[in-house]
Amino acid sequence: MLLDKALSHWGLDPNTEVTLLAERENRVYRLDIAKSTPTILRVHRRDFRSNDEVESELQWMAQLSQKGLTVPLPLPAKDGTLFADIEGYQVNRLSWLDGTPLGETNQPLQIKDRVDTFHKIGETMAQLHKISDDWELPASFTRHHWNHDGLLGEQPLWDRFWENPQLSSHQLNIINEARSKASQVLLAKAETLDYGLIHADMVRENILLSDEGVQLLDFDDGGFGFRLFDVATALFKNRSELDYPELEEALIAGYHSVRSLDMQELRLFTLLRSFTYVGWIISRINESGSQQRADRFIETATELAEEYLAP
């Protein structure tokens, strides 16, 4: 059995309590060992990432942890490796984070010190970018690119959003027109925009709050990309908050307290973030509740596209 083999590979008691926490992109288990802090066992999707990509992600997380960010720390197995191939699955073990998620999607934020919290999120994001830029990447480091092709090309990382079957002809026309304009702008400005390693999925559930500060988890989508894409992602699902302008201002101020970043094209990357969700849901359209989610994603993307196309 895969879990038994994983416990053995990491030298853990076969009677370790194993609890499934999430089964979405990857399977994530909590490991409880008597009188010890819990740890995480992550079983990656089969044939989704190469071994070099998985190892690169873990090396990056280890570097971020070493430089002071609170992220899951990869825990080596008995043989010193960061992950193992077990029954055709890439498996790795991570340290436990004790923070509380910033919030849930489609639910009002229920946090204290809202402006201060978003300032800290901005600081943490900027620290992630700075540490990543200062790091000399291992020769074998390999991650995907959230570049023009990864966002707007013919084979985007999160699927061809313009082919979502729930798009009406009116919505498709608007999205295609906005895609064309966004593509021209991004191609023209790509070389001047800040580009490097990004988390790429800094949504509410992946931002944890603790007494020690902001914690980040789930680097599965992390790779090379435009830094504004991280900013847009962290703000995107908070746009309906009544104090959103103050939250956006706080996050940007927090970011700028660590490093500079030109925010001029933030509206463009907010649009691109909305497009990715319309693509992401395509392969999941038959899952429970996905058609309703797709409708929400499309409605938001269409609204943002109309705003982007407005004179």
pLDDT over 90 (residue 167): yes
User: In this structure, are 91 and 110 located in the same domain?
Assistant: no
Per-residue pLDDT, 279? 97
User: How many domains does one find in the chain?
Assistant: 2
Distance CA 175, CA 274 (A): 10
pLDDT in tens, 193-210: 999 999 999 999 999 999
Please, which pLDDT band fits residue 47 given cuts at 50, 70 and 90? confident
User: In this structure, are 144 and 278 located in the same domain?
Assistant: yes
User: In this structure, are 89 and 105 located in the same domain?
Assistant: no
Q: What is the CATH number of the domain that holds 48?
A: 3.30.200.20
Angle between helices 169-189 and 266-280 (to 10 degrees): 130
User: In this structure, are 224 and 79 located in the same domain?
Assistant: no
Which domain-ending residue is among 96, 116, 136? 96
User: In this structure, are 83 and 228 located in the same domain?
Assistant: no
C-alpha distances (whole Å) from 49 to each of 46, 89, 160, 210 are 8, 10, 19, 31
pLDDT over 90 (residue 33): no
Please, which pLDDT band fits residue 174 given cuts at 50, 70 and 90? very high
User: In this structure, are 131 and 266 located in the same domain?
Assistant: yes
Per-residue pLDDT, 52? 95
- Give one DSSP letter per residue of 246-281, joined into a string: HHHHHHHHHHHTTS----TTHHHHHHHHHHHHHHHT
Local structure of 224: helix, strand or coil: strand
Token couple for 290: 């996905």
User: In this structure, are 71 and 216 located in the same domain?
Assistant: no
pLDDT over 90 (residue 188): yes
User: In this structure, are 79 and 184 located in the same domain?
Assistant: no
Which domain-ending residue is among 47, 66, 96? 96
User: In this structure, are 142 and 215 located in the same domain?
Assistant: yes
pLDDT over 90 (residue 287): no
Taking the complete model, does pTM exceed 0.85, yes or no? Answer: yes
% of the chain with per-residue pLDDT over 90: 91
Distance CA 26, CA 218 (A): 10
Report DSSP state, residue 159: -
pLDDT over 90 (residue 311): no
State which residues form the domain around 185. Answer: 101-309
% of the chain with per-residue pLDDT over 70: 100
User: In this structure, are 59 and 120 located in the same domain?
Assistant: no
User: In this structure, are 89 and 107 located in the same domain?
Assistant: no
pLDDT in tens, 229-276: 999 999 999 999 999 999 999 999 999 999 999 999 999 999 999 999
pLDDT over 90 (residue 128): yes
Which domain-ending residue is among 79, 96, 113? 96
C-alpha distances (whole Å) from 6 to each of 45, 68, 78 are 16, 29, 11
Residue at token pair 């600081």? 123
Q: What is the CATH number of the domain that holds 240?
A: 3.90.1200.10
User: In this structure, are 305 and 195 located in the same domain?
Assistant: yes
pLDDT in tens, 75-109: 999 999 999 999 999 999 999 999 999 999 889 99
Please, which pLDDT band fits residue 155 given cuts at 50, 70 and 90? very high
User: Residue 276: which of 214, 206, 226 has the closest Cα?
Assistant: 226
Angle between helices 51-66 and 114-134 (to 10 degrees): 120
Per-residue pLDDT, 306? 97
* Highest mean pLDDT of the ranges 29-38, 175-184, 281-290: 175-184
Torsion angles phi and psi, residue 183, rounded to 5: -65, -45
Q: b/e per residue, 32-49, with b = 16+ CB within 10 A?
A: eeeeeeebbbbbbeeeeb
